Amino acid sequence: MMNETIPLREALRRTLLNKYDNPAIGLHEFNRFIYTLYRDKSFEGVRIGKISAPEPDSRVLDITLSDLKTQGILSPVIEGVVYQISNKDQASAQQIACSITPYSYLAYLTAMEWHGITDRIPHIVHLVQSSQAQAKKLLNEQLAQEFPGISDIHPLLPKKVSSVGKIDGKELLIHNKKNFVMKRELYGSGGIRVTNIGETFLDMLKKPEMCGGFMHVMEVFEEYAKEYLPLIVKTVEKDGNSIDKARAGYILEDVCHLKHRTIDTWKRSVQRGGSRKLVASQPYKEVYSEVWCISLNL
């Protein structure tokens, strides 16, 4: 019927329950759905009734959120930041963390757990995120295509979160990163973004204290480095610095007894001299690798 209409809140309810796959949703993403309905003025070919403005105002956003909470469709996980959707599985701590801002991803021991290369049961969720300034820049680039002419972007900007209470029994530890690079959500993961396996191994070398400690890092390399050797070497070669290559080379070749032609190129470019250490946080020792020019200060 030409005159058929659908209320805004009903269109939004159907969007959340039937079209959105993730179990948790950030307030910025919730608001984005409302902006989209205002932009399109229709839902599944049916005109949305009683909206004529180009974008919603704060009153509409607040009332719509309140209404869906009252209906029990949304329940706060982090009040004002992230909400659980009623007909989805209970969101995990990792899914909730990734819902806080799209400009973030899981890393360190949390990524190791995700990839199945640690037997530890982490009590901390490590979340790497962009600065608020970079988030705004990335959002502006996205909105220029999605909502050209938008007058108020603030409802679409993820809330700045520095600390929250425990999520699903886990503490959230946020790491702000300069030169942040976006990551895609993993298909079928319920909203997870995470360092890939090569990046995760490189992070173990750069920040072992965030990855269960250096001895645990060594255990993980000994058990899994052979399986992932090409990816580890490719990532260290591309993104690692000279000390990363020296540490990776020593562990892969001398500890794990693995060979790779790229490791041989690292040997030829190793920096002589200085007081470089295998474990950055430990005191220097006189036990030394002549090949890799690092103190074996385990």
Residue 1 pLDDT class (50, 70, 90 cuts): very low
Statement to judge: residues 185 and 239 lie in one domain: no
Statement to judge: residues 134 and 239 lie in one domain: no
Statement to judge: residues 177 and 50 lie in one domain: yes
The yes-or-no verdict on residue 60 having pLDDT over 70 is yes
Q: What is the pLDDT of residues 256-293, one digit of tens each?
A: 999 999 999 999 888 776 678 999 888 888 888 989 99
Q: What total of structural domains would you count in the chain?
A: 2
Answer yes or no: pTM beyond 0.75: yes
Handedness of CA 229, 230, 231, 232 (dihedral sign): positive
Residue 206 forms part of a structural domain: no
Residue 207 forms part of a structural domain: no
Statement to judge: residues 234 and 164 lie in one domain: no
| Mean per-residue pLDDT, 204-220 | 97
Q: Does residue 48 contact residue 15 with C-beta atoms inside 8 Å?
A: no
Owning domain of residue 72: 5-195
Q: What is the pLDDT of residues 111-142, one digit of tens each?
A: 999 999 999 988 999 999 999 899 999 999 99
Q: Among candidates 289, 284, 54, 248, which has minimal Cα distance to 297?
A: 284
| Mean per-residue pLDDT, 184-200 | 97
